[in-house]
Amino acid sequence: MYDRIKGFRDFYPGKMAARRATIDTLEDTARGYGFREIGTPALERAEMWTDKSGDDIVEELYSFEDQGGRHVTLTPELTPTVARMVVAKQQELSKPIKWFSTRPFWRYEQVQQGRQREFYQTNVDIFGSSEPEADAEILAWAADALTNLGLTDEHFEFRISHRDILGGVLETYDADVDIDDAIRAVDKSDKLSTAEYHDLLIGAGLTAEQAVEFDELVAGGDLEAVRAFADTDRVDAAVDNLQHVLEAADDFGAREYCTISLETARGLDYYTGVVFECFDSAGEVSRSIFGGGRYDDLIESFGGQPTPAVGVAPGHATLALLCQRAGVWPDEEVTTDYYVLQIGDTRTEASRITRELRERGHVVETDVAGRSFGSQLNYADSINAETVVIAGEQDLANDEVTIKDMNSGDQMQVPVEEFPGEYERPTFADFDS
Task: With H, G, I as helix, E, B as strand and everything else as coil, classify residue 319.
Answer: helix
Q: What is the pLDDT of residues 211-252, one digit of tens each?
A: 899 889 988 989 999 999 988 899 999 999 999 999 999 999
Task: With H, G, I as helix, E, B as strand and everything else as coil, classify residue 81.
Answer: helix
Element (H, E) at 116: none
Q: What is the pLDDT of residues 174-218, one digit of tens each?
A: 768 888 888 888 888 888 889 998 999 988 889 889 889 988 998
Does 262 belong to an annotated binding site? no
Does 79 belong to an annotated binding site? yes
Distance linking the first and last C-alpha atoms of the chain: 56
pLDDT score of 268: 67
Q: What is the pLDDT of residues 84-131, one digit of tens each?
A: 999 999 999 999 999 999 999 999 988 877 789 999 999 999 999 999
Element (H, E) at 42: none
Q: What is the pLDDT of residues 125-144, one digit of tens each?
A: 999 999 999 999 999 999 99
Does 78 belong to an annotated binding site? yes
Gap between the Cα atoms of 202 and 290, Å rounded: 29
Mean pLDDT over 17-34 rounds to 98
pLDDT band at 364 (very low <50, low <70, confident <90, very high): very high
Does 62 belong to an annotated binding site? no
Does 355 belong to an annotated binding site? no
Say which residues have a Cβ less than 8 Å from residue 353's Cβ, sequence separation at least 6. 340, 389, 391, 401, 419, 420
Gap between the Cα atoms of 280 and 329, Å rounded: 15
Phi, psi (degrees; rounded to nearest 5) at 345: -85, 75
pLDDT score of 267: 62
pLDDT band at 73 (very low <50, low <70, confident <90, very high): very high
Say which residues have a Cβ less than 8 Å from residue 395's Cβ, sequence separation at least 6. 343, 401, 402, 413, 416
Does 270 belong to an annotated binding site? yes
Average pLDDT, the chain: 93
Closest CA to 295 of 163, 122, 98: 163
Gap between the Cα atoms of 179 and 265, Å rounded: 12
Phi, psi (degrees; rounded to nearest 5) at 364: -135, 130
DSSP 61: S
Sequential DSSP letters for 344-384: SS-HHHHHHHHHHHHHTT--EEE--S---HHHHHHHHHHTT
Task: With H, G, I as helix, E, B as strand and everything else as coil, classify residue 288.
Answer: coil
Does 352 belong to an annotated binding site? no
Ordered by where they begin, the domains of the chain are 13-40+75-172+232-326 (3.30.930.10), 336-430 (3.40.50.800)
Does 121 belong to an annotated binding site? yes
Does 411 belong to an annotated binding site? no
Mean pLDDT over 24-29 rounds to 98
Mean pLDDT over 389-408 rounds to 95
Closest CA to 134 of 241, 210, 206: 241
Closest CA to 273 of 300, 292, 294, 259: 294
